Structures are given as C-alpha cells and as structure tokens.
Structure 1
Amino acid sequence: MTRKVDLAILGAGSAGVTALFTLLRAGKSVVLINSGPEGTTCARVGCMPSKALIEVASLYHAKTRQAAFGIAGTEALSVDGPKVMARVRDIRDKLVNGFITRTHKHLDETQFIDGFATLTGPNSVEVNGETIEAGAIIIATGSSPVLPAPFRALGDALWTTDTFFEQADLPKSVAIVGLGVIGCEIGQALGRLGVEVHGFDAAPVIAGIKDPVVAEAAAEALGQDMSLTLGATVEPTREADGTVTIKAGEKTMRVERVLASIGRRPNVAGLGLESLGVELDDKGMPAYDPETLQIGDLPVYMTGDVNADRPLLHEAKDEGKIAALNIIAGARKSFRRRVPLAVAFTSPQIATVGAAFDTLDPEQIAVGTAKAQDNGRSKVKAETAGLIRVYADKTSLKLLGATLAIGDGEHMAHWLALAIEQGLTVDACLESPFYHPVLEETLQDALMSCLSNSGQKLPHPPGLTPA
C-alpha cells in the first residue's frame, strides 16, 4: 500500500502536534504517526506530574514552620503514600487525556497512524506495512531516559522519570542520580514528604546553574531536604535483598530504590536516518539548521526534544511551528527565537533568563545582587532563602540576563524575559512600578545594585522620569 500526502509528522508530542495544527490550517494534507503512548513528555512523565507531587509536598512541609505562626497540632499530620501517588496519576491522566482529545478532534481515522515509522528516504516512510510518500517530513519523536549499563542491571530497584509516577507508594529511601531540574524537583519533594533522599551529580552544581553565587545558595537550600553529593561518579550495585548499595567518592550507602535522572537521549534508534544520505555523527544524529530545523537541503526537519537542543515545552512548540511555516512558505526562513527562559519549581525556585552567566565577559558586565532575607514580604512569609542576580552591559546598561534562586521566582523570571525581549536598560526597568510589600522588590533591589555597580551616572534618580 502507498499513500501520498503533503506532510508526514513522526511523533504526537508538543512539537509534532503544533506543526500539525499549523499545517492543517494552511490546508495541507497531513498524516500524524506516533509510536507508543500519546501525550507530551511534559504532561505524561515530566513537568506536570512533578508539579502535582511538589504541591502536596509543599503543603505537608508547611507544618515544619507553622508553630512559629502560632499554629499548633501539626505534628499529627501524616503522609498517605498510596493516596499521594494516586492523586498525582489522576491529575497526570486528565492532562494527558485532554491533550490527546484536542489532537484527535482535528483528525479523521486516515490522518493518524499508531505505529513505528521508518524513513526510507527524504520523502518517504514505512509504517505498519504501508508506504507514505510525503512532500516533507517532520521528525518529532521526542526523547527517552539515558541509562548506563550499571543502572540497567538494577532491575526493578531502578526508576526513571518515565516509570516513577507509576509507583503505587512512596519509597522509604531513594538515591536521585542526576540533579538536573527534574532530579532536584522530585528529590526535594520526596524529602519533604518524609522519604530519606540522597542526591548525586557528577557536576559540581545542581540544576546546571552557571552563576557560582546562585549555585551555592541553591545547593544550600535544597540540602535542607536531601543530602547532596556533587562532583562524584555513582557506582550502584543491586544486593540480594533487592536494595541498592551506592558508592560515590568516599561515600557508601544503601537505599531502597534509585531514580536515574541522568538525562534524556533523542529517539532516533531504528528511525532510518541513514536513508537520508547525509553524514551522521557518533550519536547517529544528522546536522541540522537550528534556525530553520531543516536537515541540509532535504525536506526533512528535526523538532522538539529529538534534536536535543532546547528540551522545553514552549521551545518544542516554537520549533514545530517554525518547521511548518517553512514548509508552507516553500522557502528557508529563519525566525528569531524567544529569550531563553528555564524554571525549576524547587523551593526556592531556580530560574535562568537570557544570557547565561558563563557566556558573558566579566569585564564588560555589571552584576546586581539582592537577597530574599532583606525583603519585607519574605520576612512576613518566613521564606528568606534565596537571591537574585541580574547582568547588564556596563556601557549601554542593556539588561542581558539573570539567574534566580528565590521564592516565586517563576513570576520574576517572566518579567525579566519580557524586559530582555524588549531590549530594556536597567534604568528603564526601574521606571516600572514596584508595589509594596511584594517579593518583586527584591528584583528592584537587584536592578539598583546592578546600576550602582555599572559606574554609570544618570541625569535623574533611577525610577523617575522628568515629565
């Protein structure tokens, strides 16, 4: 059997479905091919179920400081592990089903294929014994957890983020190996729910933080909820009783379960990329244009997590749309990408906005710092851990980037992303209103600090513009 369509999309996640809707609106004939469970990585195994776990952990953890507010009796609170995990799955399933329902609402039975597609050339794929000839192909097959051989040998004592949320109960103890965003989020949440948590990472920092000042503050805060071992390689061994012995540097410990959050690799195995006739690197990946997502001059595009560039939902959606718009236009066209923005929903929240600290010339930038402990609202809330660091060009005062580890940092990070997107200077940012008492006054203090450290003298007080 052979079928001809304008477009074949491989993968029904954020990138693939965004491309699908864009192409359907343009009147293109499209087939969406998906292998395995539908639903985005975010909704099924990533950011959404982890937030459901974090929410209950935050509620339970609040008991540790309620006595200071005059609230008694919280010592009677307890965690029902099975109910916690059941609620997380219930929320997850509703979100996933909502996404799937919205997707299929726009498709008929001929436009969706449940099966594994293999490329047979730049204009054709085979799936379930059928050949699809397409004017263009969008690869949006996502990613899967990285599992080195020593971890695969752990059997059912090993969890990944793809399997953790399926567990019926919380463990008594767990080793979190890999302290990126999801490792930090799940590790801290479990620690706050009473699980003995040991976190490990080969890097010297958590959550990939590039600013050393913020990295130190974040590690100190998360170290209150789990033990941290950084800059050490982990050697796991399954014991006869089913537990796991962990060796990391000079440390040795035994845990009930191991959660591997070492990273994710593109789902390209068996995809047939070699049929495209382009060179593949040592990981089996072709080179592609990061601005157009196109592989060479072929009518094939790599979008979303599968290209391993910006593994975030909003970036995947943008990439799906960029690829679709290029296909519709029939010409190579670059689109300006959004200001980089990433958030870890830990406590305090960790966020990076704009240019990363390690990419900036220290001689050319002014850095402003402000701490939560100096903020009145933070004192009222009794949540004084964390700080903000903002970076600006010394000469122009243009805001370049920021790193945060502070309560409700997600909102300040969006404010900063908007300011950087609009090309604002530090003094222009200070002309915005800052209400009192709010956590955003810490951001105001950081901007004032940045202005002071720039050595620039303004013709009028910052924050005031002559009428």
Structure 2
Amino acid sequence: MPDTRTLKADVVIIGAGSAGMAAYKSARQFTDSILVIEEGHYGTTCARVGCMPSKLLIAAAEAAHHARHSGRFGINVAKVEVDGKAVMARLRAERDRFVGFVVEDVDGWPDAHKIRGSARFVSPNRLMLDDATEIEAGRVVIATGSRPIWPAAWNALGDQLIVNDDVFDWGDLPSAVAVFGNGVIGLELGQALDRLGVRVKLFGRSGRVGPLTDPVVAAVARTTFAAEYRFSPSVEALAVRREKGKVVVTERIDGQAVEEHFDYLIAATGRQPNLDRLGLENAGITLDERGTPVGWNRRTAQIGESTIFLAGDAAPDAPLLHEASDAGRIAGENAARFPFVAARHRRTPIGVVFSDPQIMMVGQSHAQLTNAQAKFITGSVDFSGQGRARVAGRNVGRLNIYAHPETGKFLGAEMVGPAAEHIAHLLAWAIEADRSVQQMLDSPFYHPVIEEGVRTALRAARDAMDEKSPAHRPCLDCRSAA
C-alpha cells in the first residue's frame, strides 16, 4: 500500500494563478499556517498564455500594419516583410521573461507552504490529493481558473485543433488559420494574425462583436473589422473535418456549401470554470445550472455561510487579471480571518479589447441598463470627424455614454475607437468618484487630444437631459464653458 500522510493548515488555497497568488499574499498577513496546492505551472494565465503574449503578437501586427499604411502620410515603405520566426522568437522570449518574474515570486515562498498535486474534497474541511495525501483545512480558497471549451466533434482534428495557449508556442507563423469565436480572444488573435500575413477567417455565430452590447456601437465595430479582414460574426458552419493534413471548413454562403482549407482551427469558443473535478458535492456546495456555486458573494468571495471561498476565473466574475487579483485578495483575507468576514469594495467594471480600433466597456453596459429597465439617456460621438483622430489617421469608431436622465449621474459607456484603453480608465475613475455628466464637463480637456471626443459625447448627453427634463437644467451661471 502506498504511504499516506496528513497535513493541516488554517488556509488551503487550490491554484497558484493570479487569484491564488493574491489570496496567498493576503492570507499570510494574518496566518502562517497556509498551503497552496498547484497541479500545473506556477504563475498567471496572463503572463503565460493570456494578456502579455497576445499583446506581443498584437504589437508585431501593428508594426506591420502601420508600415503598410504609411503612404497616407507621405511616407513610402518600399516593401514590408514579416519574418514569422523572428516574430515568434521575440514573443516567446518576452513571454518567458514575464513568466520568470511570476515564478520568481512563487519561488520566494517557503517550501512548507507549497504542495504539488490535484485536490478533491472528501468533506467540507478535508481534501485528498492524487497521491493520497490528506489535508485538513480550516478554510479553503478555490482559485482553480478556467479552461477552453469547444464542440466535441472538433477533437477529430487532432493536433490541428488548437487554443490560444498553443499559438504562443509556434516557431513560425502558419499560412492559413480558421478562428472560431468572435469574443475577445478571437478578435485579438484573428486581426493580429491577418496583419502578420496569415490568411485568416473569423467564424462567429452570435453576430456579436466581442463584449459589446450596444447595438449602435456593435454595428460600427462590425463594419470596421469586416472592412479590414474576413470577419464573419454570423456564419452558418455546416461541417469541420480533417482531410489530407488540412482543416476543412464548410459553410453556407448565399445558399451554397463552400469549403475552405486551413492549417489550424483556433478554438476561441468560450471557457468553463475548473470546478467539476473538485468533488464540491462532498463539501456540501450546490451548483446552479450555469455551474456557479449557489450563494457565492462577489464582495466577500465566500460561498454561502461555508468555510469555502472562491476567486478568479473559476468564479462567475470577469475573467481579467485585475478582477482575479482583487477577488483573491478578498478571499485570502476573509479565509484567514474567519469567522470574521468583511464585504470589500469591488472596483468599477472595466474591460478592454486590444483590437484596432480598440473596444472598451466601463460601468453598466447597455444590456445591463436595458434589462434592468433602468432610466438612462445616451450621449454619442462619431470619431470619423474628431480632430486628433483624423490627424493620426485613426478616425474610426463611436463612443456611447449612458447617464441618468434626472440626476445626471454617469452610469457607463461602450466604445469602439482610438485610444479606448485610455478613455476607459478616465471614465471608470469618473464612476468611482460618483461624478455627474456636468461635473465631468467641468473637468479640464486639453486640445488637440482624442479625449475631446469624450467631451462631445458628454455634451450630447447633457443636451439630451435638458430636452428630457428641463426642470433639472442647471442655471447658466452654474454651468461651465464646457
């Protein structure tokens, strides 16, 4: 019989990604009785296969794109050549550098706090590892992340079915790729690979464009992307098969079945939380129809009244590093200080897609406001005529901001357009500060900058409020020159 052992800890953290690392650092402020269980690589999805390597690929793609289109400024580049091997070599080198910083951090933790293996609940406060080690846990933080999902039939493609993780290990760029999924990952990878000279087609089903929910903004994004590369967010794919070393995709176009051959199919069709292998039923945790633990509290990270906490991509939270880190910090603190559990502030939602033009969403989305039957008005700006955007040749896109028609409070925004990553921060900070549209207009705007487009949208929102509720119109002496 194999040797067995039993370990004990006040706080046991399952997973050492962004949320798990944040939970560990937070919990360690209150107890030194901690165990972190990890079955795979230490470190974050962001550094290894997410944010950073994708941005490295996008940076190379933008360099090629700008060189090809420099003629509009009177700058002629005779020939643009993409060295796929060099692109991928730089990507991997920089990616490994980022990962190294994360691993170095974990290497600095005491060895007694780390254990390798996969964990499963046998009771609410007892875990068993795959090597039969038993762990008695005072409290447990689940930070197991998520994994890609795709239709089971695609498994017949073998090694020609890949996910974004696999892209970053390529030694060279392929000649043709089918990208399935019009979410954030599909948008970023599809456009970047196309700009690097790969024949790309993006296949979507929902018709949506990334996370956008505002139909007007989404329509602008759809038209813009489709004008640059083969972006098809509403496709009727009839079949996917492997034939003679190629991925063959059959779709219906104008009533006809049309086939196209690719080197790979990138599955960017969604992710699911890594909760199904934990034996949560043995811990008394019930999952709803979406696979979410019933009773999970976003502001405490606690599941019901249990001693189990959940954070990161495994939770029904935004799959973003800063959200995972925030949730991990809250989970670690509350697990360590249990039975004292404090509800902590969660920052204003902010999301960015690093396509070109970029997409951003802050605060409450159009869909959230509409579904809640909330009162709101919309202020807009079309960037096609915006001064600084035209100067830079980036005059494409639209920003819609949402405000309460009576109080004037700024509620949220959706945008596709230039400098969206920066505008997103400004607007998120305004929500954090509980600013009104008028207060935002009273803030300084330099000239000429992209942010002047925000002022245009704010003015439109103010005008809409004046028309809708003239009784709430500020007196002229109280209104700034904005």
TM-score (norm 2): 0.92
Instruction: Quote the residue 1:365 is aligned against.
Output: 376
Instruction: Quote the residue 1:35 is aligned against.
Output: 39
CA distance in 2, matches of 1:140, 1:122: 16
| TM alignment of 1:65-464, pairs within 5 A | 65-72=69-76, 74-105=77-108, 107-127=109-129, 128-250=131-253, 251-281=258-288, 285-287=292-294, 288-330=296-338, 331-361=340-370, 364-455=375-466, 456=470, 457-460=473-476, 464=480
CA distance in 1, matches of 2:406, 2:259: 51
Q: Secondary structure at the match of 2:406?
A: coil
1:181 Cα deviation from its structure 2 partner: 0.8
Corresponding residue to 1:60 among 57, 60, 64: 64
Q: Secondary structure at the match of 1:163?
A: helix
Q: Secondary structure at the match of 2:78?
A: helix
For structure 1, which segment, 325-334 or 414-423, has the greater mean C-alpha deviation from structure 2 after superposition?
A: 325-334
Runs of 5+ consecutive residues of structure 1 not aligned to the other structure: none
CA distance in 1, matches of 2:323, 2:291: 23
For structure 1, which segment, 181-190 or 108-117, has the greater mean C-alpha deviation from structure 2 after superposition?
A: 108-117
TM-score (norm 1): 0.95
CA distance in 2, matches of 1:332, 1:36: 30
Question: Cα distance 1:465–1:448, how it changes in 2: closer, same or farther (>3 A)?
Answer: closer
Return the letter of the residue paired with 2:113: Q
Corresponding residue to 2:49 among 45, 60, 63: 45
CA distance in 2, matches of 1:446, 1:314: 28
Q: Secondary structure at the match of 1:166?
A: coil
Q: Number of residue pairs matched?
A: 464
Q: Secondary structure at the match of 2:90?
A: helix
Q: Does 1:16 align with 2:20?
A: yes
Runs of 5+ consecutive residues of structure 2 not aligned to the other structure: none
Question: Cα distance 1:235–1:317, how it changes in 2: closer, same or farther (>3 A)?
Answer: farther
CA distance in 2, matches of 1:462, 1:234: 58
CA distance in 2, matches of 1:113, 1:442: 52
Q: Secondary structure at the match of 1:239?
A: strand
Q: Are 1:431 and 1:462, in contact at CA under 8 Å, matched by a contact in 2?
A: no
Q: Are 1:434 and 1:440, in contact at CA under 8 Å, matched by a contact in 2?
A: yes
Return the letter of the residue paired with 1:459: C
Return the letter of the residue paired with 2:245: G
CA distance in 2, matches of 1:416, 1:275: 44
Q: Are 1:430 and 1:462, in contact at CA under 8 Å, matched by a contact in 2?
A: no
Q: Secondary structure at the match of 1:383?
A: coil
1:178 Cα deviation from its structure 2 partner: 0.5
Deviation string, structure 1 residues 324-350 (Cα, Å, up to 9, x no partner):
222233223322321111000111110
CA distance in 1, matches of 2:199, 2:477: 52
Return the letter of the residue paired with 2:389: S
Instruction: Quote the residue 1:4 is aligned against.
Output: 8
Return the letter of the residue paired with 2:233: L
Q: Are 2:292 and 2:316, in contact at CA under 8 Å, matched by a contact in 1?
A: no
Q: Secondary structure at the match of 1:76?
A: coil
RMSD: 1.9
CA distance in 1, matches of 2:250, 2:478: 54
Q: Secondary structure at the match of 2:36?
A: strand
1:433 Cα deviation from its structure 2 partner: 0.5
